[in-house]
Amino acid sequence: MLIRAGYDISFFTEQRVPMLAALSVHASRNKDLRTSQRIFTQPDVPLYDYVDTFGNICTRLTLPSGETTISCGFVIEDPFTPDLVVPGARQHALEELPDDVLLFLLGSRYCETDRLSEVAWQLFGNLAPGWGLVQAIVGWVHHHIRFDYLTARPTKTAWDVYQEQVGVCRDYAHLAIALCRCMNIPARYCTGYMGDMDLPAIVGDMDFSAWFEAYLDGQWYVFDARHNYPRRGRILMARGRDAADAALTTTFGPVTLTRFEIYTDEDRLAPPVP
């Protein structure tokens, strides 16, 4: 399937403010792009890209005073198949884990393994390790949290959402990641486009989404505690230990978000890909 995706996001500031943006498709999906992917700003400001330690494409720019709009649009080819389900995927013993995976067992800014370890072992300590354990965590988080956009806040952690039992997709991901790490399963945060093309009806306004990946049987698998079933059409933008590593925008000064429009649709008008 060809998917047309992009965004128009505007900010207002009374002074020049440097910004770091992870608003490009992740480099692992570059081969699937069927049009160029270029970030535009209005007014035009200098920007440049670099690749961070998690493989995310990051853009540096400085917002001038007044309103600035950041826009991007592209077409990408996607198999539009459901997230893989591999019930037999085994959990690694700690001594088997690759060095670069160990990082995703540690506590992080939004995933406090120290505060949730006892909770995790009380809830899941009697379950066999492996895929079934991750799925049990995903199912529990899905039912423990009530989704509510109005409760979103940038300071909410996994411990907070465990206590408050309400949040948005990034909160589902953070709590599931923290619980997986407590059970010695490496887990990492993901963010990107997740459209409604695989749903029977449109659900709310389009937004970026968050999910997570767990390391089992030598590879990373997608899990989604917000939806709790395999979805189609994910377009990854950034990964990290948690949302601090994969923030879509980070500003180094006061700004006000004035426009936030995201789109993800099947591109029926594009010519067939040879």
What mean pLDDT comes out for the span 123-133?
Answer: 98
Q: Which two tokens stand for residue 128?
A: 């066999």
Residue 202 pLDDT exceeds 90: no
Residue 201 has pLDDT above 80, yes or no: no
What is the pLDDT at residue 198? 86
Q: Which of 83, 76, 77 is nearest to 227 (CA)?
A: 83
Residue 273 has pLDDT above 50, yes or no: no
**What confidence category does residue 271 fall into, taking pLDDT thresholds of 50, 70 and 90?**
low
Q: What is the pLDDT of residue 270?
A: 54
pLDDT tens by residue, 69-93:
999 999 999 999 999 999 999 999 9
pLDDT tens by residue, 89-108: 999 999 999 999 999 999 99
Average pLDDT, stretch 210-234?
97
pLDDT at 61: 98
In the chain, what percentage of residues exceed pLDDT 90?
91
- What is the pLDDT at residue 206? 78
Domains in the chain with CATH codes: 2-79+248-266 (2.60.40.2250), 94-240 (3.10.620.30)
Predicted confidence at residue 98, as pLDDT, reads 97
- Per the prediction, the chain carries an average pLDDT of 95
How long, in residues, is the chain? 274
Percentage of residues of the chain with pLDDT beyond 70:
96
**Residues 231-268: pLDDT tens digits?**
999 999 999 999 999 999 999 999 999 999 999 998 87
